Amino acid sequence: MGSPTKSLVAGDVEIVRRVLAHIDAGTTDEGPAWREPVENYVNPARFAAEFDLLRATPSAFIPSAAIPNRGDHVERTVFGVPLFAVRGPDQRARVFRNACRHRGFALVEGAGCAHALVCRYHGWTYRLDGSLAHVPHAEAFPDLDMAARGLVEVTSHEVDGLIVIDALDSSAGQQCGAEPVLAWLTNGIPWRDKLLPAQRLVYAESIVRAMNWKVLVEQFLEGYHIRTTHKNTFFPLQYDDLNVVEMFGPNCRITFPYRNIERLRDRPEATWTTDARVTYLYHLFPNVMLATFPDLVLMVVIDPVDVEHSTTTVYSMAKAAAAPAASLDPPDNPAGSLVARGSIEDNDMSAGVQHGLHAGANAFLEFGTHESAIGHFHATLRDRLATSRREPDARPMATRNEREV
C-alpha cells in the first residue's frame, strides 16, 4: 500500500454535521463490538510476542516541537531501546541509539541543547550529525577507525510536526510488513492542520505506571465514560457517549464534541469550524495519541516496560497564536489544569482495570459498539501478530514439544 494522497478523515463542516445529527437523534457512531481475552493482558508470553512485534513496527518518536533549534536533543526509551533525537546544523532531525561507541554509556540524559555531544564518562565527542569528532588520548586506540565509529543512526522521517522512526528490528519489520504502517505515519494529512500550529513545547513529563500498555491505550479511545469518570471536569463541557469515529489504516481519529458546538446551528455552514468546539484524539498505531485542545496539543506515548508496567510520556505544545492558556497552568505547575485533572481521572480508571484483571471474574473484557475504536486497535494488533507469526501458542509447552518431535 502506498502513502495516502488525500485525507481519509472528514473536514470541519462534515464533522459538525455529524455531531449535530447525533445530538438531535441521541446517538453516536457505532462499529463492531469486541471481546478481548483477559489472558492477553496478563500472559508474559503474549506480552513478549507484542514487544517483539512493536520493535518491528515503525512509530512516532517525538514531536518536532521538542527539538526546534540547532543542538536541541531529547531522549526516550522506545520498546526497550534507548534512543535520542538531535537537531543538526543543517536543521535536520536525526535519531540515534543512545550509546557512546566507546563503552556504551548513555550519551544523552534528559533534554538539552549543545554544540556537540560529549560523553561524560571518558569525553568521547560527537558532532551533531553523529560523526565522531574527538577521542581523548587517541594514541591509546591504535586500531580505531574514527570515520566508522560514529553514533548508530535509526532511520527517521520528520513529517507534519512528528519525527517518525522506522522499525528498530528492521529484519523482522520486513517480515511482518512494516511498510504499510510507516506509510500511514509519514503522511500527516489527517492531523497536520491540527498539530502544526502547536510549535512551542511548554511541558514534558514521563512516568512509569503499573499497568499493561494496552489498558493505557484504551482509556483514550472512547467517550462512553465521560459522564461517570469526568463528572466535574470534561462532562460539564462535553457530551457523554457522543463521538465521531474514523479509521485510516491502522490508525483512527475520535471526535469528542464540546457543548458549544450547538452555537453553530444558526450560522452559515461556510463559517463552521471545529476550533475550540471539539477535541480530536488521533491514535497513531501502535502507541501514540495526539489530542487537540483549544490552546494546546498533547502527544502522549505509551511505552511498554513489562506485562504490568508502562512508561507514559506526555509532550504539551501550545499553539503559537494562543492567548495565555485557560486549560494549561504555568509549565512548572500543571497539576491543577483541566486537562491534567482529566488525565488523573483516566489513569485512576485504568489502574482499576489493571487491578481487576487479576480478580478471576472475567474471561474477556467487553467493548460495545460505542467503543469500536478499541476493537479496531485490538484487531490491528491481533492481525499483525498473526502476520508476523508472533502470536504465542496457547497450548501447554509439553504439547508443543511433542508436536515438534
Dihedral pair phi/psi, residue 356, rounded to 5°: -70, -20
pLDDT-derived band at 396, boundaries 50, 70, 90: very low
**Residue 393 above 90 pLDDT?**
no
Instruction: Give the pLDDT score at 332.
Output: 43
- Lowest pLDDT segment from 139-143, 155-159, 225-229, 339-343: 339-343
pLDDT-derived band at 388, boundaries 50, 70, 90: confident
- How far apart, in Å, are the Cα atoms of 42 and each of 75, 286, 309? 29, 19, 11
pLDDT-derived band at 321, boundaries 50, 70, 90: low
Q: pLDDT tens digit string along 66-115?
A: 999 999 999 999 999 999 999 999 999 999 999 999 999 999 999 999 99
Say what angle helices 372-388 and 44-55 make with each other, to 10 degrees: 80
Dihedral pair phi/psi, residue 291, rounded to 5°: -125, 125
Instruction: Give the pLDDT score at 389.
Output: 72
As a whole number, mean pLDDT of residues 188-194 equals 93
**Residue 144 above 90 pLDDT?**
yes
**Residue 333 above 70 pLDDT?**
no
Instruction: Give the pLDDT score at 326.
Output: 38
Instruction: Give the pLDDT score at 371.
Output: 98
The three three-digit cell numbers of residue 161, written as one number: 510536526
Could you give all domains of the chain from N- to C-terminal order, each with its CATH number?
Answer: 9-57+191-390 (3.90.380.10), 59-180 (2.102.10.10)
pLDDT-derived band at 225, boundaries 50, 70, 90: very high
For residue 268, say if its preceding peptide bond is cis, omega within 30 degrees of 0: no
Q: How many angstroms separate the CA atoms of 236 and 222, rounded? A: 17
Q: pLDDT tens digit string along 277-301?
A: 999 999 999 999 999 999 999 999 9
Q: How many angstroms separate the CA atoms of 268 and 13, rounded? A: 10
Q: Which residue has the higher pLDDT, 365 or 340?
A: 365
Mean pLDDT of the chain: 91
As a whole number, mean pLDDT of residues 272-276 equals 96
* Buried/exposed 81-105: b ≥16 CB within 10 Å, e otherwise: bebbbbbeeeeebbbbbbbbbbeee
Strand-strand pairing, 200-209 and 278-284: unpaired
Q: For residue 5, which amino acid is it? A: T
